Amino acid sequence: MPPGHLQVIADDHMRTGNQMGVEQIDYDETLEWIEEMMQEDLKDPTYKIPLDVPNADFFFGFNAREIKHYPADLQSILNVFHAAKANFTISSKRWDATNICLFTGKNDEFDAISRPMFEEAERLNPKEIIVTECGHAFRSTRVFARDYWKGKQFPIRSIVELYADWIKDGTLKLDKTRNTIPVTLHDPCNMVRKEGIVEPQRYVLSNTVMDFREMFPNREYNLCCGAGGGAGAVAETKAMRMVKAKPKVDQLVATGAKIGCIPCHNCMDQFVDMNKHYKIGMKMMHLTALIEVALGLVDEEKQYFH
């Protein structure tokens, strides 16, 4: 049996369609609030988040944290999509790409959780599925596509791969001199070691910031943050997680960087905890936030961080 809290998350996901138990009215109102904020920022009262658009270039699957706790992260992503003039869609019903049963071992529940999003993607018929900056969401979506899904096949890619493509083809025109603060990069286990997405995020960072400093070791040999396997979702594990985090803290400090780029929500929560616990004094950001700065959408010193 999985730890009780993990089962609660799975039950909530099967009941509501997302791991945070966000009800439909709360989802709708959060998107409406983000839309209004973007209309104001863009000075475009006609801006709309593209919901349920058929035949888009991609279907965007994200993490329920981006609705319940971190709507600023979702707004940042939508800002970059807008700058890229992306042809994409978000589902009004099934949008959470995470699946806690990646860690519980309950295959029937894993299927029950991920299948509705794929059915929604099949209905909307995009060219591919793009998954947000979350190693857990990315891996669980790929595992479901490989091992469970027998319907229409979609390429499953991480948003960091999409960003790399947009920079290479000139869709995103960045000025990395806007990001002057030294940045280091974490390699989430589920994205890097387990799914092999290693270089795109490095290509993006090298074109987004002036001073990118690798941890050592890095890439598939980088150290786990200490919150994998569902541990980050269980409050009682925090003391243990902080002990496990110490080698990662030493890695961070050794780079001399002032910003940690963390392309994973699960890892981000752990980095925020270790930052406070060990008093590191760093800013923790997703890759998207740094791209926003390089696009000139927000000032470096004013950018949102965790």
Q: Write the pLDDT tens digit of every residue in 261-275.
A: 999 998 999 999 999
* 231: pLDDT strictly greater than 90: no
| Distance (Å) of CA 74 to CA 34, 61, 158, 237, 262 | 8, 11, 15, 28, 15
Q: Which residue has the tokens 């004094």?
A: 281
Which residue did the predictor score with more confidence, 103 or 34? 34
Contact 216, 258 (CB under 8 A): no
Is the model more confident about 266 or about 167? 167
- Ranking 8-17, 135-144, 221-230, 271-280 by mean pLDDT, the lowest is 221-230
At residue 184, the 3 state secondary structure works out as strand
pLDDT tops 80 at residue 112: yes
Amino acid at 153: Q
Two tokens at 296? 């000139």
pLDDT, mean of residues 86-113: 96
Which H helix or E strand runs over 117?
A: helix 107-124
The whole-model pTM stands at: 0.95
CA atoms within 13 A on the CB side of 7: 5
Over residues 215-219, the mean pLDDT reads 97
- 254 pLDDT band (50/70/90 cuts)? very high
Helix (H) and strand (E) counts in the chain: 12, 8
**281 in the Ramachandran plot: left (φ > 0), alpha (ψ -120 to 50) or beta?**
left
Domain annotation for the chain: domains and CATH numbers: 4-165 (no CATH), 171-300 (3.40.50)
Largest CA distance in the chain: 52
| Predicted pLDDT at 304 | 85
Q: Is 213 helix (H, G, I), strand (E, B) or coil?
A: strand
pLDDT of residue 168: 98
Lowest mean pLDDT segment, chosen from 9-13, 150-154, 205-209, 238-242: 238-242
Q: How far apart are CA 264 and CA 187, in angstroms?
A: 9
| Contacts by residues 152-155 (CB-CB < 8 Å, ≥ 24 positions apart) | 152/121, 152/122, 152/125, 154/59, 154/118, 154/121, 154/126, 154/127, 154/128, 154/129, 155/127, 155/128, 155/129
If pLDDT is split at 50, 70 and 90, which confidence band does 232 have?
A: low
Q: What is the pLDDT of residue 238?
A: 84
Return d(Cα 5, Cα 229) in angstroms, integer: 13
Residue 223 per-residue DSSP state: P
pLDDT bin (cut points 50, 70, 90) of residue 226 is: confident
Q: What are all long-range contacts of 294-298, with beta carbons under 8 Å and residues at least 24 apart?
A: 294/174, 294/175, 294/176, 294/178, 294/179, 294/207, 294/208, 294/209, 295/79, 295/80, 295/83, 295/172, 295/173, 295/174, 295/175, 296/175, 296/178, 297/79, 297/83
pLDDT confidence of residue 129? 99
* Segment 55-91, tens digit of pLDDT: 999 999 999 999 999 999 999 999 999 999 999 999 9
Report the candidate in 155, 157, 158, 166 with the shortest Cα–Cα distance to residue 80: 166
pLDDT at 2: 57
pLDDT tens-digit readout, 1-46: 555 688 999 999 999 999 999 999 999 999 999 999 999 999 999 9
